[in-house]
Amino acid sequence: MAWYERLSAQDASFLVYEDHDAAAHMHVGGLSVYEPGALSSPTGGVDVERFRTFVASRLHQIPRYRQRLAAMPLSGDPIWIDDDHFNVRYHIRHTRLPRPGDERELKRLAGRILSQRLDRRRPLWELWIVEGLPDGRFALVTKTHHCMIDGVSGVDISTVLMQMTPDETSIEAPQPWQPRPAPSATALALDEIRERAKLPLDLAAATLPLLRDWRSTLASVRANVAGLAHVTGLAWQGAAQTPLNRPIGPHRRFDWMGVDLAEAMAIKNALGGTLNDVVLTVVTGGLRTFLRRRRVNVDILDFIATIPVNIRLPGDHEGGTKVAAWFAPLPLGERDAAARFARVHATTAALKQQAHADPTRHLFKLADVGGPAALRAVVVLEQGMNPSNLIVTNVPGPPFPLYVLGSRMVSANPLVTLLANQALGIAVFTYDGRMQFGFNADWDLVPDLHELVLDTERSFAELRHAAGLDAAARDVTAATAASAAS
């Protein structure tokens, strides 16, 4: 039976954005490192064929990974259809680091892999196995187009390939799969005509509940008008001009760092905030030092971060994008780490009280009705209204270790896309007692990316000191020594 599925306007917007900017790569993902475990081959490398077989056995749980893009014949709206030439070997690729493989070489390789766009003629994902790390470890570099997943649903998809214990090393036989035929151009055109004919009825059905509950509708309209006015004001002001806010190229650098999650929890408890406040404060401190080194006067800088916010309902595990955004000013001019944290916390607390945190998302509902021309207009409007200097996203992961065929994942470093005139994006992922920061940057505009990573590490240490954790650690060490001596 013929089958297809339309993309939502928000998911399709990532394709439009990529079309409008030759340097944009709208894939998300990251790099994770694994112990050798049961995936080791007799020659000391990774048993790649075994891994491919394992992935193939799980694909029935993520059907989008065997679907590719097509277009409606009249409007050009993008749709998903089954890929009748799907080959898992194309998507799971294999490479190795030059000897001796180290973390620096791994970062360089990851940057090269992440610099390449995904091929729209095939399902929009790649998974690279990287051998050659010390002690027989290997890495997985993942790329999935943003039109397929957001940060939260991406975690759900990744766990399809992950296991809870190291003794799960058997592979089930792949379930039989037969691609469903795509509808003919005539059938798709007739569907489009029917959809347009039903549009007045659909609008009426959507409007009636709003009219019945007119008080809530009026409050929502007022909130969103206020939110739109707020974002318009920020857009009119424009993003501050910094060395990080210039037209980007297609090439990427990728770097990372990690901190102890228990220490981050202790900081937020001591200073009275949230883990997200810790993340934003640490990033703010790192950027302050980094931009000062670039001779930027941070004391007068209005530096704004876009913070994606999950609007996915509990129990919703469908793919696609379901995020809104906050626009949060970062206090780069604040010298004191504790005061910096207090200002960040005040900002995020105020944003939580605003029902209109991201009014632009309602534009995509209109684009769902208006077709490709409306969608292009919304993307152009959203780009023009974007007042931020970078994206900072924080995605929670599992607090326990995960495995793939007995190989333990020891770290997971996330990737966020770069937008126009934003040469830096920072993503954070918590996993198994660690908080990993992934830094994605333009190759030419941020050649000193690793300096920013070191600045961010020092910013965390500074915040830890401001929270009194250094003194607490010294007290515990002294008490332990005294107990041992007695």
Residues carrying an active site annotation:
146
Task: Give alpha helix (H) positions in 96-248.
Answer: 103-114, 151-160, 185-212, 214-237
Look up residue 360 and give its amino acid. T
CA 135 – CA 289 distance, rounded (Å): 35
Going by their DSSP bridges, the two strands 390-396 and 424-431 should be labelled as: parallel
Q: What three-state secondary structure class fits 434?
A: strand
Say if CB 98 and CB 105 are below 8 A apart.
yes
Three-point CA angle 127, 133, 134, nearest 5°: 155
Residue entry with tokens 């297609």: 250
Nearest 5°: the CA angle 423, 150, 79 is 105
Cβ-proximal residues to 62 (8 Å cutoff; 6+ apart), any chain: 157, 160, 319
Residue in the block written with tokens 């993003």: 239
- Show Cβ contacts of residue 327 under 8 Å, excluding neighbours closer than 6 positions: 231, 234, 304, 305, 306, 307, 387, 388
Query: Which phi-psi region, left, alpha or beta, contains residue 238 (left: φ > 0; alpha: ψ -120 to 50)?
Result: left
DSSP reduced 3-state for 6: strand
What is the edge-to-edge ordering of all strands in the sheet holding 390-396? 252-260, 434-442, 424-431, 390-396, 303-310, 323-330
Distance of CA 198 to the CA centre of its chain: 36
Give phi and psi for 178, each to the nearest 5.
-125, 120
